Structure 1
Amino acid sequence: MRIGGIVGVTVILVFIFFYQWPQLKKSGRKVRMVFFSLMLLNWVLAVLLVIFPEMPGPGQLIDFIFKPFEPFW
């Protein structure tokens, strides 16, 4: 079932890419590189979450950073 999730995420990101790319052709090279880099990063994170569903998310990182310092004393 993991293969289906990976394929599904890939298809969705490919649709987003092809929908936005004609608008980005008018933009500069830097904008296109940032867009492509963010799409690649999103794909990697989505695939990791499909493979390792118990992986902590960004909300848990924020909770760890901003929780009280009492346990560290």
Structure 2
Amino acid sequence: MNWAALAVITVIVILMILYEWPRLRQHTVKEKSVFVIMTTAGWILALLLVLFPELPGPTQLVDAIYKPLGKLFE
């Protein structure tokens, strides 16, 4: 099941890149690099969530960072 989900996610990302890349030809290198970085980051996060479903979410990371600061300001 995991391998099928990984394959489907990868195919969707490839299709998304194939659809969007021709539209980015008139844009700058910075915009293209941001598109590649954001797409890669989303792909990696999706793969990690399929492989490790108990992985904590980003809100738990924010809580872990700012909880000590909140106690400091009290």
TM class, shorter-chain normalised?
A: 0.7 to 0.9
- The alignment covers a number of residue pairs equal to 70
Unaligned runs of 5+ in 1: none
Percent identity, aligned pairs only, is 40
- TM-score scaled by structure 1? 0.80
Aligned position for 1:34: 34
* C-alpha RMSD of matched pairs (Å): 1.7
Aligned position for 1:69: 71
Shift of residue 37 of structure 1? 1.1
- TM-score scaled by structure 2? 0.79
2:49, 2:59 → 1: CA distance? 14
Structure that is richer in helix per residue: 2
